[in-house]
């Protein structure tokens, strides 16, 4: 009894409150470091074995890579999410979060600004929406969500498709239909020229197709709030769309993921595309930096930085492989590599631009809070 009382009265670290040690220090450790710290003291082992602590530690982090500071670029935490929360979309420093696997009934959608540390609920049950994108609607100066509602037996056909939801008090989703192609718009859209742009899900692994073809780009006009199509270059079916400085591009890789081709839309109105780069990835050098992997199979290839695509500037690729992210230039040179506490990384197709803008819609939304637990 006396020993237990003494242990309870002894602080985890002298000079610091236990709440700070637990929830500001230990909970941020990666699993390997946490296991090591448990061997330091019995009080540390007891505190980090509690169910509440383990649930909090099981959360996952949103990491940001600042591609503007290539010389000192690092991955850093932006927010710590519950294991059931996912990033759906981004725009002007705002992140749209969901607590569902796409397609499940009863989704809950929230919006946050990690810079101002604001969080609020947008929609939830009984709606069954997934988020396709977020955009500023210039005619009204409102931020709006583009939502999709899937097929359900209890819904009429005119309620299956896309909806627009302005962010503000007492707003309801407004039905706008569905693009003619019936394409699966699963990836994060690219926002340029007052439009959200998707390169349709190729279904590469489902169909096994490896032929080169041109698929129309799906465009959602954020002013008229209607869908249309654009031409795209003839590329392999596994291709992805990107944007930098208001210019649209598409990047793709060969079957072995050894070479990346980058197309740039030189003129938006005439829809003329140019094959700007073909980059041979430094496969052997990357293999040499990843000792725990024998087979070479990149998980994700993502284009991030475009410097003057109309001149002699280059582009910087981020390649996600296992626990590491590799930074590669247009000559195929490996610039740097990054990892985060040796944790496996899952790349979101989102760009986060830090913003201190105080949006008026936030306090009007349900559950509005500042300094919510997901912020660090």
Q: Answer whether residue 59 is part of any domain.
A: no
Query: Domain limits at 16?
Result: 2-54
Domain identity same for 223 and 340: yes
pLDDT tens digit sequence for 339-374: 765 556 666 777 788 888 889 999 999 889 998 766
Question: Edge to edge, what strands does the sheet with 239-244 contain?
Answer: 239-244, 247-253, 259-267, 272-280
pLDDT tens digit sequence for 211-246: 556 678 999 999 999 999 999 888 766 778 888 778
Of 29-43, 201-215, 274-288, 351-365, least confident by mean pLDDT is 201-215
Domain identity same for 360 and 339: no
Q: Answer whether residue 357 is part of any domain.
A: yes
CB proximity list for 373: less than 8 A, separation 6 or greater:
none
Domain identity same for 160 and 308: no
Between 222 and 148, name the one with better pLDDT.
222
Domain identity same for 343 and 263: yes
Q: Answer whether residue 291 is part of any domain.
A: yes
pLDDT tens digit sequence for 75-113: 777 777 665 677 889 999 999 988 754 445 557 899 999
| pLDDT at position 277 | 86
**1 burial class (0-12, 13-18, 19+ CB within 10 angstroms)?**
exposed
The model's pTM: 0.74
Between 95 and 204, name the one with better pLDDT.
95
Spatial separation of the C-alpha atoms in residues 137 and 228, rounded to whole Å = 17
Spatial separation of the C-alpha atoms in residues 241 and 337, rounded to whole Å = 24
Domain identity same for 239 and 314: yes
Token reading at 142? 């409102």
Domain identity same for 224 and 317: yes
Domain identity same for 194 and 256: yes
Q: What is the mean pLDDT of the chain?
A: 76
Q: Answer whether residue 184 is part of any domain.
A: no
Q: Answer whether residue 213 is part of any domain.
A: yes
**How would you classify the pairing of strands 315-321 and 300-306?**
antiparallel
Domain identity same for 93 and 241: no
Domain identity same for 12 and 104: no
pLDDT tens digit sequence for 216-225: 899 999 999 9
Q: Answer whether residue 157 is part of any domain.
A: yes
CA distances from 41 to 18, 28, 30, 56, 152 (A): 14, 18, 18, 21, 55
Token reading at 240? 């992805």
Mean per-residue pLDDT, 155-170: 82
Which residue shows structure tokens 């850093």? Answer: 76
- DSSP, res 188: P
Q: Answer whether residue 27 is part of any domain.
A: yes
Count of domains for the chain: 3
CA dihedral 237, 316, 279, 248 (to 10 degrees): 40
């Amino acid at each position: 009894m006396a020993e237990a009382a003494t242990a309870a009265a002894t602080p985890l670290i002298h000079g610091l409150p236990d709440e700070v040690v637990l929830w500001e220090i230990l909970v941020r450790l990666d699993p390997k470091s946490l296991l090591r710290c448990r061997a330091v003291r019995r009080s540390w082992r007891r505190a980090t074995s509690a169910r509440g602590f383990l649930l909090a530690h099981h959360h996952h982090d949103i990491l940001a890579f600042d591609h503007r500071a290539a010389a000192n670029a690092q991955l850093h935490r932006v927010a710590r999410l519950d294991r059931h929360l996912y990033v759906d979309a981004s725009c002007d420093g705002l992140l749209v979060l969901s607590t569902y696997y796409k397609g499940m009934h009863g989704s809950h959608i929230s919006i946050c600004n990690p810079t101002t540390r604001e969080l609020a609920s947008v929609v939830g049950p009984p709606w069954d929406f997934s988020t396709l994108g977020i955009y500023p609607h210039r005619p009204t100066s409102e931020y709006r969500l583009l939502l999709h509602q899937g097929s359900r037996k209890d819904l009429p056909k005119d309620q299956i498709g896309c909806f627009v939801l302005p962010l503000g008090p007492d707003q309801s989703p407004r039905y706008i239909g569905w693009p003619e192609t019936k394409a699966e718009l699963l990836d994060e859209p690219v926002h340029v020229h007052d439009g959200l742009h998707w390169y349709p899900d190729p279904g590469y692994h489902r169909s096994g197709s490896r032929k080169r073809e041109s698929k129309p780009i799906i465009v959602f006009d954020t002013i008229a709030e209607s869908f249309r199509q654009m031409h795209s270059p003839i590329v392999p079916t596994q291709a992805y769309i990107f944007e930098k400085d208001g210019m649209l591009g598409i990047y793709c890789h060969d079957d072995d993921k050894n070479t990346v081709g980058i197309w740039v839309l030189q003129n938006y109105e005439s829809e003329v595309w140019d094959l700007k780069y073909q980059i041979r990835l430094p496969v052997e050098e990357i293999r040499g930096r990843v000792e725990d992997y024998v087979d070479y199979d990149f998980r994700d290839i993502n284009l991030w930085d475009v410097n003057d695509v109309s001149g002699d500037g280059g582009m910087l690729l981020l390649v996600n492989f296992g626990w590491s992210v590799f930074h590669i230039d247009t000559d195929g040179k490996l610039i740097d590599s990054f990892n985060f506490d040796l944790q496996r990384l899952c790349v979101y197709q989102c760009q986060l631009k830090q913003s201190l803008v105080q949006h008026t819609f936030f306090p009007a939304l349900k559950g509005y809070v500042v300094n919510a637990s997901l912020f660090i």
